[in-house]
């Protein structure tokens, strides 16, 4: 059984992000992908002492499977409390798999403006890409069978953990 220490990976992600956070006159803006990426961005914003607030972005309206999935209940709408135009954006997600969620959130992001750059940082890259998308920073790179799902959880104290689940056939 695969064992991943999410807290140790979080520390690696935090340190890997430091060089990416100042690329212009102002610090890059963190934007977490709902939900695990939003949890990570919230904690990174605080732990790195970044000014202002982090953003949260949802992939729901730009997913290529929107017709079959519809609006997911419980997802927060996109919240970007800063201007996107000309800003360096660091997208943060928990697990990178096919790349379809990243494609959808980049489309959503451009609905709000034209950033100077978009960089992807993930806690875990599990391979299995279906689109040409890569993370600039990944705390871990692992291989999982397609039938397994890696899920990030957060406890009441804000500590992270991972669970590997078998998907129903």
pLDDT digits (tens, 9 = 90+) for 143-155: 999 999 999 999 9
Domain membership of residue 50 (yes or no) is yes
CATH number of the domain enclosing 111: 3.40.50.2020
Total number of domains in the chain: 1
Domain membership of residue 1 (yes or no) is no
pTM of the full structure: 0.91
Give me the domain span that covers residue 59: 6-65+80-166
Domain membership of residue 72 (yes or no) is no
Cα Rg, the chain, nearest whole Å = 15
- What are 79-135's pLDDT values in tens digits? 999 999 999 999 999 999 999 999 999 999 999 999 999 999 999 999 999 999 999
Domain membership of residue 159 (yes or no) is yes
Place of tokens 């730009």: 62
Domain membership of residue 58 (yes or no) is yes
On whether the CB atoms of residues 86 and 114 are closer than 8 A, the answer is yes
């Amino acid at each position: 059984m695969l064992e991943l220490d999410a807290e140790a990976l979080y520390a690696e992600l935090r340190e890997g992000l430091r060089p990416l956070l100042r690329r212009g006159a102002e610090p890059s803006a963190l934007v977490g992908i709902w939900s695990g990426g939003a949890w990570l961005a919230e904690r990174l914003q605080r732990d790195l002492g970044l000014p202002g607030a982090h953003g949260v972005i949802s992939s729901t309206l730009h997913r290529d499977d929107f017709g079959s999935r519809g609006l997911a209940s419980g997802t927060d709408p996109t919240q970007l409390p800063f201007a996107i135009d000309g800003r360096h954006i660091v997208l943060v997600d928990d697990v990178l798999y096919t790349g379809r969620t990243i494609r959808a959130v980049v489309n959503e992001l451009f609905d709000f403006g034209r950033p100077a750059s978009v960089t992807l940082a993930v806690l875990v890259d599990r391979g299995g890409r279906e689109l040409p998308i890569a993370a600039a920073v990944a705390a871990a790179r692992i291989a999982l069978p397609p039938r397994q799902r890696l899920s990030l959880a957060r406890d009441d104290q804000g500590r992270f953990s991972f669970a590997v689940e078998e998907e129903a056939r």
